[in-house]
Amino acid sequence: MAEQVISAPRSLPVGPVESHGVGWNGMACLIASEAALFGYLLFSYYYLGASNPRGWLMEPHPDLHLALPNTLLLLASSVAAWWGERGVRQESKGQALAGLALALVMGTVFATVQVYEWHAKTYAPGTSSYASLYFITTGLHMAHVVIGLAVLAMLILWIAFGYFSPLRRLPVSNGVLYWHFVDAVWLFVFTTYYLTPLLGFAR
Amino acid sequence: MTPARSQRMIADTPEIGEVTQALRDRLEAIWETKPGFVGWLASVDHKEIGLRYIVTAFLLLAIGGVEALVMRLQLIGPDRHLLTPEQYNQFFSTHGMTMIFLYASPILSGFSNYLFPLFLGSRDMAFPRMNALSYWVYLASALFLYAGFVVGAGPNDGWFNYVPYASREYNPGLNMDIYALGMILLGISTSVGAANFIVTVFRCRAPGMSINRMPVIIWGTLTASVANLVVIPAVSLAFFLLWLDRQFGTHFFDPAGGGQPLLWQHLFWMFGHPWVYAIVLPAMGMVSDGLPVFCRHPLVGYTAVALATVATMVLGFGVWVHHMFATGLPGLSLSFFSGASILIAIPSAVAIFAWIATIWLGRPILTTAFLFFASMILLFVIGGVSGFMTASVPVDWQLTDTYFIVAHIHYVLIGINVFPVVGATYFWFPKMTGRLMDERLGRWNFWTMFAGFNIAFLPMHLTGLMGMPRRVYTYPAGMGFTTLNLITTIGSFLFAAGVLMFFWNVVKSWRGGAEAGPDPWKGPTLEWAIPSPPPPYNFAVIPTIATRHPLWEDDLDEGRARSTLDRGMTLAHGKEALATTSLDGEPDMILKMPEDTLAPLMLTLALTLLFAAMLGKLWWLAAIGSGAVLAALIFWTWPRRQLLEREAAVHG
Ligand code: HEM
């Protein structure tokens, strides 16, 4: 192989093409690190849940009326973002803008509902370790949602400027990947705080 | 090559050429850092950044050393009052924090930063701007962390900062808040740096450098970086939760509200133990790469050593609980973690035997660098044995929190970090500066450090076995500790004198050392194939690698395959580098590299403002800080035509 690199060099892509480029590897590292962060948060929840006596859960029967539709909404926003990215890949600016804008709106609604949920709680972060964990975990997730929304907003702007093409679109693919990650993390948070009590954890 | 052409070009066949002066001139113009102060601030050259890292980390070593000497003066005899108990607490905590977080890891990042692209035959790291960011944030967090100590509000609870003593009840001042926020800031720097190393190793190697041909230090840094990437969030989270507990009345660590003090210890040691390996594995890599050069013999058992490096870290994830043997955990879990801790001795032994075999089979040349590398093996054995002893639960119960542990820490950290790092400086200084360090002074330097270190820390094992507790500001006369402590203090000053000789040698040789030439040690790896100091673009043509020792191919005669160093891709159409595939190192794409920019510095300043505002709970300032962070990020990520991140659109 060594000789061929010099004697018969192949044509190589120049700069990031499609979703290939070192920027993609960088995004993968960021996601790995952030996923670990939420892993430690959930570890803290299970650890405290397991080491406390019964009655630690402040919501042994979590109310799913808002949380479940909100979760579905966030998942749907991932689909919208994916559809928008497809718009970029197929050189359809309209679809790209519509998809990402839809994701942006859905994400904003999710965040608003979540803020409402916080206000409706009968406890505050200082009430107990359960309450602290609930607010800080959902709060850190919210911080990621806000960053994700800012990313989507910038992508919409850049697409509107006509910056991307099916070949040059790494920032779009990276940004949308981040949004998928934010949504995936919520599934773990949701499962932990809303579903495991129903299954009997720490009740 | 006009910019207009490069924009429309999606694919291209790289030109192949020889190294010529014309090519060098062209590359020099493309890659050089702009002159002047602003140019200096904006530089993204990995060599520039690596040197800054190294200089800063050595400065912090000196500061931490002065703190240590003050403590040793306090302990020189019984019942002395140079420091008050509170001051002593701040001194040993700040000393530990400085050495572990601000010296031991950044110094290795510095060497890796400088050397990675040279080892790998690349023009720069994968993310030059992130590289600059990780340095600036490191500097900012060092200043942030020291701000407290300077005004008498340094950390005072040891470097691992256990609750409840770190809680507000016992520690009402700002001490712990500064420590907590500063460590989160430093975590950003380390994570960004780790990601950069990982992607650089996997994507920026010269063609033909499959992973079984990488120098061992690359394995060490790669392993450490992967670990850092996933464990830093644990400690950042722990410090963040601590700050919330202290300032906002949450109950993560507070039993009264259903929290758990042990949660701190779990989160801290999940990070802490892999981290301890992260600050020794790259240093072990330095020995694995440096020692063979002076033995004129390739490292014995390369594959075993590389795998042992990875295995150490894998096991390292499973041993965090051994720091908590004395906390009353269930017996079965103690046995498990004890077993894992004893097992971890095996991969370390593999490395030790490989080094000994290399010396045995080779023809050692006793340079200063060789002395430092070889002595590390001895210190490693002593530090390893004392660590192995405390991996056993009953022994740990006897020894925990005595000076035996202090002796162990220093054998491991000075033995496996400081000695290899000083050796590495003697070894690579000629590459970095073009000048050799003074060998005569080097001998004095080595023997003073070696003697001083052992005089100081060997007797300390005994002090510990006799029961002197660690972290206590003084001791009464008549306990049998007096003579031992006097010896330790004398040894400490001798060691410090040795370190001073080292610094002096660096300064002296930098100014007027003998010319080194490109390859003073006749080394086997790529960095020795280019001029000293390397030009800003490192390699005029991208080398093509056929073996593990591209420069020793004729001597070793390991087969017919030959690397090609003087002919290859020229990549001179703008700031370009080559990306290769992750495992086999086949050419994969041409990277457009970013120009120098102030964005990393701007982001660092914005982050620092944000953290300072959080410390003071000045929410309006925090809002400004967040806005500034956002602005810096948008400026940074704005798709650039030069980087081919976007089309050359008619508008925009
Ligand atoms: C001149 C060289 C040095 C001397 C004389 C020295 C001395 C000391 C002393 C007196 C203590 C406090 C012991 C106690 O009261 O518990 C200490 C703690 C410590 N030292 Fe050093 N030290 C030196 C170099 C280093 C280096 C190079 C490192 C790491 C790379 C290091 C890492 C530590 C750590 C981690 C602790 C524990 C701090 C804590 O208890 O939280 N030291 N050292």
DSSP structure string for B180-229 = HHHHHHHHHHHHHHHHHHHHHHHH-PPTT--GGGS-HHHHHHHHHHHHHH
Contact (CB, 8 A) for B506 and B437: yes
Q: For residues A60 and A150, give the distance between their C-alpha atoms in angstroms, rounded to a whole number.
A: 35
Contact (CB, 8 A) for B419 and B376: yes
Contact (CB, 8 A) for A178 and A148: yes
- Pocket perturbation via mutation, ligand 1, pick of B59, B95, B413, B475 by most ligand atoms within 8 A of CB: B95
Contact (CB, 8 A) for B629 and B603: yes
Tens digits of pLDDT across chain A (203 residues):
556 788 788 889 988 888 888 999 999 999 999 999 999 999 999 999 988 988 899 988 898 999 999 999 999 999 999 999 999 999 999 999 999 999 999 999 999 999 999 999 999 999 999 999 999 999 999 999 999 999 999 999 999 999 999 999 999 999 999 999 999 999 999 999 999 998 888 77
Q: For residues B603 and B610, give the distance between their C-alpha atoms in angstroms, rounded to a whole number.
A: 10
Determine the distance separating the centroid of ligand 1 and the alpha carbon of B238, expressed in angstroms.
23
Residues of B in contact with A136 (CB under 8 A): 241, 244, 250
Contact (CB, 8 A) for A88 and A167: no
Atom of ligand 1 nearest to the CA of B71: 10
What type of residue sits at position B609? Answer: L
Q: Does residue A45 belong to the interface with chain B, where contact is any CB pair within 8 Å? A: no
Q: pLDDT tens, B264-323?
A: 999 998 998 889 889 999 999 999 999 999 999 999 999 999 999 999 888 877 676 666
Our CA angle for B145, B147, B149, nearest 5°, is 85
Q: For residues B413 and B386, give the distance between their C-alpha atoms in angstroms, rounded to a whole number.
A: 13
Give the closest residue to A135 by CA, choosing from A112, A111, A114.
Answer: A114
Q: For residues B602 and B396, give the distance between their C-alpha atoms in angstroms, rounded to a whole number.
A: 48
Task: Say if the Cβ atoms of B589 and A20 lie within 8 Å.
Answer: yes
Cis peptide bond prior to B164, omega within 30° of 0: yes
Determine the distance separating the centroid of ligand 1 and the alpha carbon of B627, expressed in angstroms.
40
Q: pLDDT tens, B121-168?
A: 999 999 999 999 999 999 999 999 999 999 999 999 999 999 888 998
pLDDT at B350: 93
Residues of B in contact with A162 (CB under 8 A): 647, 649-652
Q: What percent of chain B has pLDDT over 70?
A: 94
Pick from A36, A39, A163: CB nearest B649: A163
Count CB neighbours of A7 within 10 A.
Answer: 10
The pairing of strands B576-580 and B542-544 is unpaired
Q: Which domains does chain A have, with CATH numbers?
A: 63-203 (1.20.120.80)
pLDDT at B289: 95
Atom of ligand 1 nearest to the CA of B417: 30
Pick from A14, A154, A170: CB nearest B590: A14
Residues of A in contact with B205 (CB under 8 A): none
Average pLDDT over residues B616-644: 94
Q: pLDDT tens, B595-611?
A: 999 999 999 999 999 99
Task: Look at ligand 1, atom 37, and give the residue with the nearest C-alpha.
Answer: B96
pLDDT at B560: 75
Atom of ligand 1 nearest to the CA of B72: 10
**Dihedral of alpha carbons B487, B490, B496, B500, sign:** negative
Count CB neighbours of B479 within 10 A.
Answer: 12
Give the closest residue to B13 by CA, choosing from B593, B630, B570.
Answer: B570
Q: For residues A81 and B333, give the distance between their C-alpha atoms in angstroms, rounded to a whole number.
A: 45
Q: What percent of chain B has pLDDT over 90?
A: 78
Q: For residues A110 and B278, give the distance between their C-alpha atoms in angstroms, rounded to a whole number.
A: 40
Q: For residues B224 and B274, give the distance between their C-alpha atoms in angstroms, rounded to a whole number.
A: 8
- Among chain B residues, CA nearest to A23: B127
pLDDT at B325: 64
Average pLDDT over residues B395-407: 84
pLDDT at B389: 74
Determine whether B16 is exposed, middle or buried from the number of CB atoms within 10 Å of its CB (0-12, 13-18, 19+).
Answer: middle
pTM (predicted TM-score)? 0.95
Q: For residues B122 and B38, give the distance between their C-alpha atoms in angstroms, rounded to a whole number.
A: 26
Task: Say if the Cβ atoms of A48 and B259 lie within 8 Å.
Answer: yes
Task: Identify the residues whose C-beta falls under 6 Å from ligand 1.
Answer: B 65, 68, 71-72, 92-93, 95-96, 99-100, 103-104, 158-159, 406, 409-410, 413-414, 417-418, 456, 470-471, 492, 495-496
**DSSP-assigned letter for residue B125:** -
DSSP for chain A, written as a single string:
-HHHHHHSPPPEEBS-BBTBSHHHHHHHHHHHHHHHHHHHHHHHHHHHHHHSPTT--S-SS--HHHHHHHHHHHHHHHHHHHHHHHHHHTT-HHHHHHHHHHHHHHHHHHHHHHHHHHHH-S--TTS-HHHHHHHHHHHHHHHHHHHHHHHHHHHHHHHHTT---SSB-HHHHHHHHHHHHHHHHHHHHHIIIIIHHHHTTT-
Q: Does residue A199 belong to the interface with chain B, where contact is any CB pair within 8 Å? A: no
Please determine, for residue B626, whether its predicted confidence score (pLDDT) is greater than 50: yes
Higher pLDDT, B340 or B579: B579
Helix, strand or coil, per DSSP, at residue B1: coil
Q: pLDDT tens, B537-573?
A: 999 999 999 999 999 988 887 677 889 999 999 999 8
Q: Does residue A161 belong to the interface with chain B, where contact is any CB pair within 8 Å? A: yes
Pick from A2, A21, A33: CB nearest B563: A2
Count CB neighbours of B220 within 10 A.
Answer: 31
Task: Say if the Cβ atoms of B586 and A165 lie within 8 Å.
Answer: no
Atom of ligand 1 nearest to the CA of B93: 41
Please determine, for residue B3, whether its predicted confidence score (pLDDT) is greater than 50: no
ipTM of the complex: 0.96
pLDDT at A3: 65
Contact (CB, 8 A) for A78 and A180: yes
DSSP for B312-372, written as a single string:
HHHHHTT-GGGGGGGG---HHHHHHHHHHHHHTHHHHHHHHHHHHHHHHHS-----HHHHH
Please determine, for residue B4, whether its predicted confidence score (pLDDT) is greater than 60: no
Q: For residues B182 and B103, give the distance between their C-alpha atoms in angstroms, rounded to a whole number.
A: 15
Residues of A in contact with B257 (CB under 8 A): 126-129, 132
Task: Look at ligand 1, atom 22, and give the residue with the nearest C-alpha.
Answer: B68
Residues 102-141 of A with CB under 8 A from B: 125-133, 135-136
pLDDT at B652: 36
Contact (CB, 8 A) for B399 and B469: no
Determine whether B4 is exposed, middle or buried from the number of CB atoms within 10 Å of its CB (0-12, 13-18, 19+).
Answer: exposed
Please determine, for residue B198, whether its predicted confidence score (pLDDT) is greater than 90: yes
Mean predicted lDDT score pLDDT of chain B: 91
Q: pLDDT tens, B458-469?
A: 999 999 999 999
